Amino acid sequence: MVSNMRGRDFLTVHDFSKEELYEILRFALQLKREKKAGLEHRLLLGKTLGMIFQKASTRTRVSFEVGMFQLGGYALFLSATDLQIGRGEPVKDTARVLSRYLDGIMIRTFEHSEAEELAAFADIPVINGLTDLLHPCQAMADLMTILEQKGKLAGLKLAYLGDGNNVAHSLLLACSKMGLNVAVASPKGYEMQATIVAKAKESAVASGASITLTTDPLEAVAGADILYTDVWASMGQEAEYQLRFKAFQHYQLNKQLLKKAADNAMVLHCLPAHRGEEISDEVIEGSQSLVFEQAENRLHVQKAIMAMLI
């Protein structure tokens, strides 16, 4: 393992080098293989992880809690109602108190600045389990799934269809860092943040990747090796559902679009999926879908991140 990762935060993939991200991915694949072979990994025996949840979760909570258990440690679930942070205690105070009880913190919250402030004042590693801006652990699971299935990352083309949200942000940052060519199709008004795109373009120059931003789904998926989509309305955007449904109705990942991609293209979705909206039922249940393998890989890649940082 890369020793200089110990004690670091994992707030965004952009903070890590291409080599460091590959190291995490290779370790995650090793942990997965060995787990399937019945080998135990007590790499975090006696360690504790505090899991702060300001947002509801299925995959994040279960994968981190089970992952910590499999590594020999203990995960403590902390909801907004459990913490004084929900009653006005400053984040910086919570960070310094928890640093004296725990060995690591995972936070799933709304404002990215809250995760950054927590990391700034904590003396222990802070892992971003999701913010409104970024979802780096998901992006790592995505890369792991692609590497596992395709045997490489650099030179492949990934097409993302839909909202320029936290998943899209982290996916673009991760792919551009690792040399994947990315094409993103979003309707006008729902594009990714310019600051994120600028960072990704810097990484793309170094890795040799290309970035294409378009409003045309057909242009994005043409010849793509990986097709990726996400819900049209994320948590906190439910009131915009009708407006978003109208804007995104031509961005559904369906059989017709899949035919425009490479013959062996794989289909990814970070879940939860709204079948019949951003993805058709026949595609998510089809032979090219790796959606549930991708969901499983959240467990393995997060175990690698925790074991290397804590």
Which entry of 230, 269, 294, 302 is annotated as an active-site residue? 230
The answer to whether 256 is a known catalytic residue is no
Number of structural domains found in the chain: 2
Do 175 and 81 share a domain, yes or no? no
The answer to whether 135 is a known catalytic residue is yes
Closest to 133 in 3D by CA, of 218, 14, 46: 14
**pLDDT grade for 196, boundaries at 50, 70 and 90:** very high
Handedness of CA 126, 129, 135, 136 (dihedral sign): positive
Do 154 and 69 share a domain, yes or no? no
What pTM value is reported for the model?
A: 0.96
Please compute the mean of the pLDDT values over residues 168-191 and round it to a whole number.
98
The answer to whether 250 is a known catalytic residue is no
- Give residue-wise pLDDT tens across range 203-255: 999 999 999 999 999 999 999 999 999 999 876 777 788 899 999 999 999 99
Do 14 and 77 share a domain, yes or no? yes
Structural domain for 177, as ranges:
138-295
Say if strands 104-108 and 181-185 run parallel, antiparallel, or are unpaired: unpaired
Give me the chain's average pLDDT, please: 96
pLDDT at 265: 98
The answer to whether 138 is a known catalytic residue is yes
Q: Which residues pair with 268 in a beta bridge?
A: 228
DSSP classification of residue 192: P
Which entry of 8, 59, 135, 244 is annotated as an active-site residue? 135
Q: Which residue has the tokens 């915009």?
A: 240
Q: Is the pLDDT of residue 2 over 60?
A: no
Do 152 and 198 share a domain, yes or no? yes
- Give residue-wise pLDDT tens across range 3-12: 589 999 999 9
pLDDT at 56: 85
Which entry of 8, 14, 59, 108 is annotated as an active-site residue? 108
The answer to whether 9 is a known catalytic residue is no
Please compute the mean of the pLDDT values over residues 37-57 and round it to a whole number.
96
The token pair that represents 61 in the structure block? 């909570």
The answer to whether 137 is a known catalytic residue is no
Which entry of 112, 244, 298, 300 is annotated as an active-site residue? 298
- CA distance linking residue 260 with residue 216, whole number of Å: 13
